[in-house]
Chain A
C-alpha cells in the first residue's frame, strides 16, 4: 500500500520562484492536510480539506494556495517563494478527521535561497 505519497522529497528554490508540492493518497480518505515543520518546532497547519472541492485555511496560509479537485490529490502551491518558507512540509490524510488515525507522507524538505 502506497499510503500518502509526497513529491519531491527535496527541493531548492530561488527567491521569487514558484512551485507545487504534490500529495496523493490511495486510501479514499476525505480529509487531507498540509503542515510545515520548522527546525525544532511542531507542525503548523497551512491548509486542510474535508473533501473534494472544499478547502480551508489553517494557522499559516499566507504565501500558499491549495486545490482539491479529486479525493486523491491535494497539491500545495507556493507563489513567489521567500526564505521564510524554508521548512519541511508534510501532507497527511485521514478517513474522517474526527476520530481516525492520520497518515503522513515522508515530507518535502524545501530550501529557499
Chain B
C-alpha cells in the first residue's frame, strides 16, 4: 500500500523568507502523481502544485516549487518570499496509476506559521 509521510508537524518562517516542507512516500509503482495541497483556517483544500513522476523537471508555480527526488522517494515543497497568507496546513498527497491505486493518499500535514 502506498504511504505518505510528512515528518514536520509544524514549521515557522519569517515573512519574506524561504521555507521548505518535507514529504516522503512509499510506492512500488514507477508512474504516479504527487501533489501539495493547502488548507487554510477556512478548511477549503486548495491545490498548490502537482508533479508527474515521469517528468524529471521539478514543477514550479510562482513562489512555490518542489524538489522531486524519485530514487529517494522524496517530494519537498519550497515556498519563497513567504507571505502572511501562506499560513496554513500543507498536505502532501500521492495517487497511483495502476488499478486499485488510483485513490488519493494524504500525509498527516505540516502546520506552517508565518511570522510578520
Interface residues of A (CB under 8 A from B): 31, 33, 35, 41-45, 48, 50, 56, 58, 88, 90, 92, 94, 97-99, 101-102, 104, 106-107
- Which one of B35, B47, B104 has the highest number of Cβ atoms from chain A below 10 Å of its Cβ? B104
Name the contact of B104 in the complex, choosing from A33, A56, A88 (C-beta under 8 A): A33
- Chain A residue with Cβ nearest B46: A104
**Contacts A88-B43, A97-B95, A101-B50 given; does A42 touch B102 at CB 8 Å:** no
Q: B34 to nearest A CB, angstroms?
A: 10
A97 touches B91 (CB 8 A): no
Q: B52 to nearest A CB, angstroms?
A: 6
Provide the residues of chain A in CB contact with B35, threshold 8 Å: 101-102
Provide the residues of chain B in CB contact with A58, threshold 8 Å: 103
Question: Contact mask B90-109 → A, CB, 8 Å, 1/0?
Answer: 01000101001011111111
Count, A-B residue pairs, CB within 8 A: 57
Provide the residues of chain A in CB contact with B103, threshold 8 Å: 33, 45, 48, 56, 58, 97
Cα-based distance from A94 to B33 in the complex (angstroms)? 13
The total of chain B residues at the interface (CB under 8 A) is 23
Provide the residues of chain A in CB contact with B45, threshold 8 Å: 90, 92, 102, 104
Q: Is B44 an interface residue (CB 8 A)?
A: yes
- Chain B residue with Cβ nearest A9: B43
Cα-based distance from A45 to B103 in the complex (angstroms)? 8
B106 touches A43 (CB 8 A): yes
Provide the residues of chain B in CB contact with A41, threshold 8 Å: 108-109
Provide the residues of chain A in CB contact with B42, threshold 8 Å: 106
